[in-house]
Chains A and B, each alone.
Chain A
Amino acid sequence: MRLDGLAIYCLRIPFVQAFRHATKDRHESDAIVVEARAAGAVGYGEALPRDYVTGETERSVVDVLTEHAWPRLASVELETAGPSLLEALGQLLDDIFRSAPAPAGGFVAHNSARCALELALLDLSLKLRQQSLGELLVPRTPRVAYSGVITSGSAERAQALARKLVLGGLGQIKIKVGDALDLERVGAVREVVGERSLRVDANGAWTLEAAQDRLAALAALGVESCEEPLGRERSAQLPELAAQSPVPIVVDESLVTAADARELLERRACHGFNLRLNKLGGLWPCLQLAQAAARHGVWCQLGSHVGETSILAAAGRHLALHLGDLRFVEGSFGSLLLGQDIASPSIKFGFGGWGGALTGPGLGVDVLPERLSALATQRWSSAQ
């Protein structure tokens, strides 16, 4: 298969409600959708660049895709079928992005761009054969339970959100922490949710000493795990924290590359890995990291980026069902968070947080081109 063309849509999709955590307030999704075309079929992938995670920006993603990746992809004969499709795509994209120039600033990896391209090519290849991704990533469980997320803010606001999640039957809830109201907020949520599973995400807001203090108090509130307590720049202190913490430590922003994973595992710096497709470069890298984690007795959860559309939600669903033993699963908020999704129906979880298999061709998402165009603030096409 040779690509006929590539298009990129930079979207702005307002949220139904603002989303707050320790490092950022978000009011809209800034997803980038990559559209790959060949032989009359169209495949879609998605990126959500986060400069504080991978060092990528909207500009860097568009630049690396248009100026570096597309010229190399345009002349390549792409594999379209077989059980090794994911691996073959993974190797091709590794080759392409290994030689990509690094933008200035705190750049870590072109993982968002890689993720968008991997998903678009995979979706396209599978659609050409009318094959579902579920035939490559065979589900090991029929459904997964997604977690609800409570953002930073007042205890009163957190309780209102918690009541909604309880009415929605969600059994697992993550609370954003990292400010002076942490304990008040978690305690307030605990009052509403009873015995439901609670965990926290500090988004790297704490020093080692602050983390030690807070985690002791949070353990008393029955918090099951803490995501990214220290941040990437303080990750050298993770082994000390993990060794004595009463709450299991999960790495997120500290885990971006395969080298990060090796170091974290060798130094016993965490109890869990937070896998996020966009952060780690797509499905193939996530599968590899999940295998590495299992070899070291480290469990995995699937995270998501705020503002993911149905494309990343669908890819995450396939991965979660395939891995089958994830401790927690996040994402698939769809139109629960987005003022408008780009797909119909929107890929989202239902009552209890449950999400089942997607069986349509490719990722199993029906993207509406008119919505893509309506929500795009910038568009690039290889045909231009």
Chain B
Amino acid sequence: MLCFEAMNQTIGVGAALGSHLARAYEASIRELRQAPPYTRLASGRAARAEYDAFVLELCKTHSLSAHFVAFAFSLAPPGAASTLQHNLLEELGADGGEAHPRLLVRLLEGAGLAHELPAVERAGRLRLDDKVLEPLFYGSLRDVGLAALVEIVGFEVMLSQVASEMAGFLREFRGLPEAALGWFTHHAEVDREHAEQGQRAVCEYAEHYRLALDEAVTIVDSALDQNIYLARYFGASAAAAARAELA
């Protein structure tokens, strides 16, 4: 009887979680696009140093993305495994395309920031170290994995909507050549599909691991407590300012 009740709690979690997730992502993306540091870049009102800082922080954020996708892939349920495997192969350039870290190096080179590569690599390693060394708030890999997946998919969803715009302002206002913008082009074109698959993967995950809806929603909301896009690309202050304005 208890088992039957527990099963009932998870039936339909996917659909309800999917709409909650979509709303949460859309709210975060809206905050990003309305945040002053972003609108300055998008409108061409930013100084050259602001464009350079954006490029640097973006490269720091994504330089070790493959590690995080690999972690999510290792926990992926059957229904989501192929999506995450495809993502991972793309990140690594094992699908016939160029490896994403290489695309980021071309972005740095195109912006004349190749000398910052060691700092970018150090920041990536530091973020990875923190993830590995800091105590885990959740008590199971199931919960830790969902939190990680929510963040990974969150960036795919955002980039599928915003990457073209980012490439556009870097081309137009910072004068970056097309060859440097491959990372954005790739995410804008390819990740539209990934984004949808990714959101389905989150729901698959929650159903497969029998998370109750309130547990899954709590983990999603905690993962997106801070605006992850603003926090990574513009710093914690920009993220906090966006939330304060919302409140």
State the A residues within 8 Å of B (CB): 12-18, 27-28, 160, 163-164, 167-169, 334-336, 338-340, 344-346, 348-352, 354-355, 368
Contact = CB atoms under 8 A, between A and B. Distances in A.
A341 to B, nearest CB: 9
22 contacts: A14-B240, A16-B240, A17-B226, A18-B243, A27-B244, A163-B215, A167-B139, A167-B218, A167-B219, A169-B139, A338-B236, A339-B235, A339-B236, A339-B240, A340-B235, A344-B126, A344-B133, A345-B133, A348-B135, A350-B137, A351-B136, A352-B139
B236 A14 contact: yes
Given A334-B134, A344-B126, A351-B137, 8 more contacts: A15-B240, A18-B243, A163-B214, A167-B138, A167-B215, A168-B138, A339-B239, A350-B137
Contact of A18 (B133, B215, B236, B244): B244
A344 B143 contact: no
A368 B127 CA distance: 13
A348 B137 CA distance: 9
B74 interface: no
Contacts of A17: 225-226, 243
A13 B235 CA distance: 10
A349 B135 contact: yes
Contacts of B58: none
B134 A346 contact: yes
Secondary structure at chain B's binding surface: helix, strand, loop or mixed? helix
Interface in B193-247: 214-215, 218-219, 221-222, 225-226, 231, 235-237, 239-241, 243-244, 247
A16 B137 CA distance: 15
Given A13-B236, A14-B239, A14-B240, A350 B135 contact: yes
**Considering the complex of A and B, which 8 residue pairs feature the smallest CB-CB distances, nearest first?**
A339-B236, A350-B135, A14-B240, A351-B139, A345-B133, A345-B134, A16-B226, A163-B218
A18 B225 CA distance: 11
Contacts of A352: 139
Contact of B226 (A169, A339, A351, A368): A339
Which of the four size classes fits the interface of chain B? Answer: 20 to 34
Interface string B36-75: 0000000000000000000000000000000000000000
Given A16-B225, A348-B135, A339 B143 contact: no
Interface of B: 126, 129-130, 133-139, 143, 214-215, 218-219, 221-222, 225-226, 231, 235-237, 239-241, 243-244, 247
A17 B218 CA distance: 15
Q: Name, among B143, B237, B247, the residue most crowded by chain A CB atoms within 10 Å (CB to CB).
A: B237
Nearest to B226: A16
A336 B134 CA distance: 11
A344 B128 CA distance: 11
A18 B218 contact: no
Contacts of B243: 17-18
B149 to A, nearest CB: 16
Contacts of B235: 339-340
Contacts of B241: 14
A27 B126 CA distance: 26
A20 to B, nearest CB: 10
A339 B139 contact: no
A68 to B, nearest CB: 32
Given A168-B138, A350-B136, A351-B139, A18 B222 contact: no
A163 B219 CA distance: 9
Contacts of B134: 334-335, 345-346, 348, 350
Contact of B138 (A12, A27, A338, A351): A351
Nearest to B240: A14
Given A167-B138, A167-B143, A350-B136, A18 B247 contact: yes
Given A14-B239, A28-B240, A345-B134, A339 B231 contact: yes
Contacts of B247: 18
Contacts of A160: 218, 221
A350 B138 CA distance: 7
A382 B193 CA distance: 57
